[in-house]
Chain A
Amino acid sequence: MSTAVETPEVPEQVIEAPSTVATKKNRRNQIIALGALAALGAVPIPFGDYGFFIGQYAAVYAMLGLSVTIVTGYAGLISLMPYTFAGLGAVMTGLIMTGWGWPFWLAAPMAALATLPVSLVVGMASVRLKTLYLAIATLTFSTALGETFFRWDLVTGGRIGWTVASPQLGPIDFGTDLNFYLLCLLVVLGLVWMTEGLRTSRLGRAMLAVRDNELEAQALGINVYKTKLAAFVLSGMMAGFGGAFLAVLLGNVSPGGYQSPVAEVTSILLVSLVVIGGIDRAWGAFFGAISLVVQSQVFQGARFFFPFFGMYSAFFLILFLLFRPGGLVQVSKITTELVKRRPVFGLAVVLVTVALNLGIAYIFIRAS
C-alpha cells in the first residue's frame, strides 16, 4: 500500500483496532468499570449461600453463552451445537474426575480438548454450507451424538451418570458456595476478557469480516474456510470448558439432557441469554446470563408464575431479535447516548426502568 494514495475513510465502528495508548480517560473508564464489576460481584453477599448459588449459575451459563457469542456473534455461523459440546465437556469431566480420579484442574482443560475431535469433524463437513443448511447440519449432528456418544455407557457412566465432587486446591475447598462462586466469577471474567480480546485480534477481526461480507473478506486475503473452522472449534472448546464447571455445579452428570438442541430447554435458554445480552459482544453473554438467571429465580420465587418462565424468556428472545438485535449492549448504548444528550430525562428513564423492574420482582415474590 502506497502512502501517496489517499487512505479511504474507515467506516465508523464495527472493527476497531486495539488502542494501545492508555490515555488518561481510558484508564479512568477502566477503573470505573472495574469498580462497577466488583460491586456487581458483591451483590449476592447479602443473600448468603442462596445468592452465591445463583451467582454460580449465572457465571456458568455465561461461560456456555460465550461459545454462542464466538460462533454466531463473531463468525456469523448458526450452530445449534454449543449445548451438546457443553454436555460433552460435562460428561468427560465426570469420567475424568470420578472414573479416573484425576483432579478438576486437569479435567477442565481436558473437557475442552475433548470437544476438539467432534468440532473438527463436524466443522470440516459443514462450515462451508450456507446458513440454513449449516443449521440443519448442526442440528442433525448433535442429535446423532445424543444417540451415540451420550449412550456410550463406558464414558457416560450409564443411566445413573457420574457424581462429580467439588474441586480442591491445597487447603482451599471449593465445595462451599462462596468459594465456588468466586472461582466461577474469576473464570468467567477471564473468559469474557479473552473473548473481548479475540474480537480485536487478527483472527477475531477476520471472523467479523467473514460475517459481514464473505466475498470482501476473501478479496482481502482472508481464508474464509479456515476462519470459520477456527470459530467453530474455539466455540466448541469454550462450551466444553464451561461444561466442566456445569458438571461441578450440577454435582451429577446424566447424559439424558443433551439430546435435541431444538427441544432442550437449557439449550434454547443459552441462545436466549446471548441474544438478550447482545450477541456480538462478550459482555452480552455475561449480562444476558445474569439477567435471565436472576429473572428465572424471581419467577421461581413466585411459584404461581414459574411455569410461565419458558414462554416469558421465549417472548423476550423474539422481542429482542425483532427490535433490538444488539441486545442489552445495544440498549445500554442507546441509553447512554440519551443520558448524554438529555441528562435529566435520560436519568429519569433509567431510574424509572430500574424501579419498575425491582418493583415488579418484589410484587411477584410477595404475591405468592
Chain B
Amino acid sequence: MTLAINPIEVASFGISAGAVFGLLALGLVLIYRTTGVMNFGHWAIGLVAVVSYAWLTGEGMLPQAALPICLLLAMGAGVAAYRLVFKRIARSNQIIVILVAVGIAQFYSSLAALVLGFRPFTRLPPWLPMATLEVAGMRLRMSDVYTIGVGLAIAVGFFFWFRVSRSGQALRAVAQNREAAVLAGIDDVRYSSLAWAIGSGLAALALLIIMPHSAGQQGGLITTFDLTPLGTLLIPAFGAALVGGLVNLPMALVGGVFFGLTREFLVLAPAPWSELRTSVAAILIVVLLLLRTERFFATRQELEALEA
C-alpha cells in the first residue's frame, strides 16, 4: 500500500473502491427488493466468475474476451440459485432464507475451489489498462478512472432502463407490489430471475474489477486456501445497501462511495485506526442499523410485502 498524501489521490482511490462496493450493494438491493432474499452468498456467485476468468485466461484467452463469458456464467449461477432453491422457500421465513443463502455460498465457493485446484496461488491478469495518469502533479491510476466510469455508466443506464423500458418498469412493479404486478399480467418468476441475473452479474463485475487489479502490473492473485477476503467484502457492501435501507438503488451507490471514501481516508488517520477498516465499517453499520434507514425509503406496506 503506497501512502498517498494528496487528498485528491486518496479520494480517487476511495471513489473507485466505493464504486465497487456500490456495484455489490446494487446487486444485493435489486435481489432483495424483487425476491425478499438477502443474499449472503453474493460473493460466492461473483467468485464463480472470478474462477472462470482465471481458468479461461490461464488457457490463453484474452482477458477482455473472457470477461463477458464469465459475467454470463455468474448470471447463470445466480438464476440457477433462484429458480432451483429460493423460489421454493416462503420469504416470510427469513431464518431459512438466510441459512439457505449461507449454503449457497458454501456450494459455489467449494465449486470454485474445485476448479481452482489446490495450487497455492492462481494469477489473474488485469483487463483494465494499468497505466498511471499525471494530472496537475497528481498520479491517478487509470484502472480507478475506468472503475469510476463503469460505476457511473451503470448508474445512468439503470436509471433510464428502470424509467423508460418496459422490462425495467415491470421489474419495478414486481419489486413494489408483487401481487398487483401479477394481477397486471407480469410474470413475476421471469422478472425475479432477471433481477437475480443482473444482481449476480453486478457481483461478478465488482469482483472482477477488484481481484485482477489488486496488485498493480502483475494483476491479482487468488488462492483456494483463503477466500475470506472475498467474504469480508460483503461488509462494506451491506453497509452501502443499508444507506438505502436495503431497498433504494441510487442510495446504495451513494452508500458505496461513502464507505469507499471512509475506508481510504482512514489511511490518513492516526496509527491504530488506519488499520481498522472493517471495524470502522462495522461501527458505521451499527449506527445505520440503529437509525432504521429503511423507514426513509419505503412505506410500511412495502416493507411488509418484502417479507410476506
Contacts and interface: CB of A to CB of B under 8 A. Distances in A.
Interface string B70-110: 00000000000000010011000011101110111111011
A193 interface: no
Main secondary structure of the interface of B (DSSP, over half): helix
Interface in A120-155: 125-126, 129-133, 135-137, 139-141, 143-144, 146-148
B239 to A, nearest CB: 8
Nearest to B84: A318
A278 to B, nearest CB: 13
A147 B276 contact: yes
Contacts of B276: 147-148
A311 B107 CA distance: 5
Nearest to A264: B228
B103 A259 contact: no
B228 A260 contact: yes
B40 A263 contact: no
Nearest to B292: A133
A217 to B, nearest CB: 17
B230 A263 contact: yes
Contacts of B104: 314, 318
B43 interface: yes
Given A140-B285, A272-B106, A314-B106, A148 B89 contact: no
A148 B281 CA distance: 13
A140 B40 CA distance: 12
Interface in A252-271: 256, 259-265, 268, 271
Contacts of B226: 256
Interface string B201-235: 00000000000000000000000001110111011
Contacts of B141: none
B158 to A, nearest CB: 23
Given A259-B231, A262-B231, A322 B106 contact: no
Contact of B43 (A262, A268, A313): A262
A136 B102 CA distance: 12
Given A259-B228, A260-B228, A137 B98 contact: no
B88 A136 contact: no
A228 B118 CA distance: 42
Contacts of A308: 110, 114
Interface residues of A, number: 47
A147 B273 CA distance: 11
A50 to B, nearest CB: 23
Contact of A259 (B94, B105, B232, B289): B232
Given A143-B235, A271-B99, A263 B88 contact: no
A130 B94 CA distance: 10
Contacts of A143: 231-232, 235, 278, 282
B113 A136 contact: no
B145 interface: no
Interface residues of B, number: 46
Contacts of A309: 110
A242 to B, nearest CB: 20
Interface in B244-282: 246, 275-279, 281-282
A281 to B, nearest CB: 16
A78 interface: yes
Contacts of A317: 99-100, 102-103, 106
A215 interface: no
A272 B110 CA distance: 14
A105 interface: no
B196 interface: no
A135 B111 CA distance: 25
Interface string A193-233: 00000000000000000000000000000000000000000
Given A78-B94, A137-B285, A271 B102 contact: yes
A143 B238 CA distance: 13
A76 interface: yes
A322 B89 contact: yes
Nearest to A136: B238
B154 interface: no
A337 B290 CA distance: 48
A307 interface: yes
Cβ-closest 8 pairs across A and B: A263-B231, A310-B110, A260-B231, A314-B107, A144-B282, A314-B106, A131-B94, A317-B103
26 contacts: A76-B95, A78-B98, A125-B286, A131-B94, A132-B246, A133-B289, A136-B242, A136-B285, A139-B234, A139-B235, A140-B286, A143-B231, A144-B279, A259-B228, A260-B232, A263-B227, A268-B103, A271-B103, A307-B114, A310-B106, A310-B113, A310-B114, A311-B107, A321-B96, A321-B100, A325-B96
Interface of A: 72, 76, 78, 80, 125-126, 129-133, 135-137, 139-141, 143-144, 146-148, 256, 259-265, 268, 271-272, 275, 307-311, 313-315, 317-318, 321-322, 325
Given A125-B286, A139-B40, 17 more contacts: A76-B95, A132-B246, A139-B235, A147-B276, A148-B279, A256-B226, A259-B228, A262-B234, A263-B105, A275-B99, A307-B118, A310-B107, A311-B107, A311-B114, A314-B103, A318-B103, A321-B103
